[in-house]
Amino acid sequence: MPKTDQHYMSLAIQAANNGQGVVEPNPMVGCAIVSDDEVIGIGWHEKFGGPHAEINAVASVNAENKHKIAGATAYVSLEPCSHQGKTGPCCDALIEAKIARVVIAVTDPNPIVSGQGIARMQAAGIEVVTDVLTTEAEQVLAPYLKRTRTGLPWVIAKWAMTIDGRIATASGDSQWISNEKSRKRVHDLRRRVDAVMVGIGTALADDPMLNPRPAGSRTVTRVVVDSAVRIPLDSKLVKTAKEFPTLIAVDGEQAKTQTDKIAALKANGCQIWQSDVGQKPGERLTGLLKYLADKSGVTNLMVEGGGQILGSLNDLKQIDEIHLFTGAILLGGQSAISPVAGTGPSVMNAATDLKLQQVERIDNDVYSIYRRV
């Protein structure tokens, strides 16, 4: 029995995942080329600046099957691009390869592409089918789609907590709740993202480095939300700012009284982002997210705490994904610190609705991944 379009599209979507952590801010895209119910080529966008999925799929076809490309069907998880960027237009590559039919999961919302790749292929006589496994493909494309549609990065919240939902004792002691293997997994996550953010409370309490160890193939920007410019000049983040990109986000009103401190931070290699004078906290945080997406090319932003910054993001409905490490520790204590503060809703049915994506046991820890519905 011949396989369906859904079957072959699922292979393209699976292939797209191979680009995670190395293609951003570009989208993760996969492509499968099928002739006479046989997959003769499969490819994905392998690294930022490199050939796109369609190019790699065509190139993957071995010599004995090259003649089958003409007349074949290409299954692509995102509409083939139609513009000249770091690589040539993918729709032209499929036209030149004499592909007869292209099946697409998601039409690209990027205005420089949207519908134009489809139109160009149709004008060349290629049959185009759209909206096949769209929901499944959008799961993989979600960070790119959010940034393209809203101008905001995909926000990943990460925290480790005890089984009674605490991230630190009342005195602020938090080391360690999760085990060594879980902490290694956090470094794997850092290598995937474009930036790692913390609030000033976490920066002061933990004096973290925030960079992935060992380093990955991408440069991760470290971001500290520090409205009152309290970060010490001798902190690890400041002392290593010339080695690892470090952005300090400050309140524009406060910055007017902290010119010497800001000059010193800049001299140590820190970048400074100032909010507009008079903005409210939520407006400042949204402005920072827009800046990170627009000016710094951040598609995936991981926020590692503390409770105030996570609470503010939750109030803004800007937490898209949660990576939760639950340690086998019962802490107790009415004043022990919880992971998410902020205002929060007054009624339960206004709470953020999540979908459980994955659960994994890491020795005695439980690692859970959720996405906002």
Catalytic positions, written as ranges: 54
Any idea which residue has 């003409």 for tokens? 70
Angle (CA) 300 304 282, round 5°:
75
| Token duo for residue 222 | 């470290």
CA distance 260 to 167: 34
CA distance 159 to 166: 10
CA distance 344 to 19: 36
Q: What letter represents residue 105's amino acid?
A: A
CB–CB of 330/222 below 8 Å?
Answer: no
SS3 of residue 191 by DSSP = helix
The strand ranges marked E within the chain are 30-35, 38-44, 73-78, 101-106, 127-129, 154-161, 195-199, 221-225, 246-250, 271-274, 300-303, 321-326, 354-362, 365-372
Q: Which of 1, 332, 373, 46 is nearest to 165 (CA)?
A: 332
The strand ranges marked E within 317-372 are 321-326, 354-362, 365-372
C-beta contacts of 250-256 below 8 A and 24+ residues apart: 250/226, 250/274, 250/275, 251/227, 251/275, 251/279, 251/284, 252/276, 252/277, 252/278, 252/279, 253/277, 253/278, 254/227, 254/228, 254/229, 255/229
